[in-house]
Every structure is written in structure tokens, then in C-alpha cells.
């Protein structure tokens, strides 16, 4: 199944963690650690995409942001992406990268809204290369008693 044929909708946004830590000395060099994780809830045809960002200066975190987006995927996409011999669902990298782009963009907006009017509003999420973070297809094992 081609990526453009996978029908989905953004069904939920959740801020799993947000914190700003005042008093941290923010130097000239700022590091940002970024991560992405995927999960599934097959009973609701949902793919979960979680992104994490931690802003660090002089080895101390000063902004922490973890955002999860839930995407409801059309039932036929689950069936087309099921590999019987491997007993798992496998979705193409391009599709999963696309969900990641949406989640990162959502996190970017949340960061702005949560820090608006504060000293932290000058910090932005940089562009993120999802092709590097999600280099290949993403698979989810079949849940027992499902098939």
C-alpha cells in the first residue's frame, strides 16, 4: 500500500510532560535532545507518535517537552499492512515520517503557546530531519487473541 493511500486523521493531542526550569544559567551554547517513539492501539485502529525535546545548557535541562499525537488509521490500512508470516503490522517509513512531522509541528506550537509572555519564548524547536530519525519502516507486533 502506498503512503498516500493510507487514510488517517489526527484524533488526539496530549502534552505528556512540559516544564520550564527557571534559574538555569543559559549560556551561549544550547543543546536540544530529540526523540521519537511509536506505538499502536489496534483495538481503536490508532498509531501513537510521541516526540520528546529537552533543551540543555551547561549540562542542565531548562525546557522539557513531551507530546503525543494519536492518529486513527483506516481499518483497511491495518489489513493491507499486516504481514501474516511475521505476525506484525508494518507501515512504510514515509507514512511514519509524515505522522512524525505532524507531531513535531504540534509540539512546536505547544512550546510557543506554553512559553508565550515568558523568558522562555525565545527558544524554538529547530527543524527536525525525520528521515534520519525514522530511517525505515516501523512495525508493531500482533497482539495476542487479535487474529
Instruction: Return d(Cα 47, Cα 55) in angstroms, integer.
Output: 27
DSSP assignment, residue 121? Answer: G
CA separation, residue 50 to residues 6, 45, 58, 71, 76 (Å): 20, 17, 26, 11, 24
- Of the candidates 87, 106, 97, which has an alpha carbon nearest to the alpha carbon of residue 13? 106
Phi first, then psi: what are they for 23, rounded to 5°?
A: 90, -10
Q: Output the pTM of the full model.
A: 0.91
Q: What is the pLDDT of residue 106?
A: 98
Averaged pLDDT of the chain = 93
Q: What class, spelled out in words, does domain 7-134 have in CATH? A: alpha beta
Question: pLDDT tens-digit profile of 80-103?
Answer: 999 999 999 999 999 999 999 999
In terms of Cβ atoms closer than 10 Å to its own Cβ (0-12, 13-18, 19+), residue 103 is buried
Amino acid at each position: 500500500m502506498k503512503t498516500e493511500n493510507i487514510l488517517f486523521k489526527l484524533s488526539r493531542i496530549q502534552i505528556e510532560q512540559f516544564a520550564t526550569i527557571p534559574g538555569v544559567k543559559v549560556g551561549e551554547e544550547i543543546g536540544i535532545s530529540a526523540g521519537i517513539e511509536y506505538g499502536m492501539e489496534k483495538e481503536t485502529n490508532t498509531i501513537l507518535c510521541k516526540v520528546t525535546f529537552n533543551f540543555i545548557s551547561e549540562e542542565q535541562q531548562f525546557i522539557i517537552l513531551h507530546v503525543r499525537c494519536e492518529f486513527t488509521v483506516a481499518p483497511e490500512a491495518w489489513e493491507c499492512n499486516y504481514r501474516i508470516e511475521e505476525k506484525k503490522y508494518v507501515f512504510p517509513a514515509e507514512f511514519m515520517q509524515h505522522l512524525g512531522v505532524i507531531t513535531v509541528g504540534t509540539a512546536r506550537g505547544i512550546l510557543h503557546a506554553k512559553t508565550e509572555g515568558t523568558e522562555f519564548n525565545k527558544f524554538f524547536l529547530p527543524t527536525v530531519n525525520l528521515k534520519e530519525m525514522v530511517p525505515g519502516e516501523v512495525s508493531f507486533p500482533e497482539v495476542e487473541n487479535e487474529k
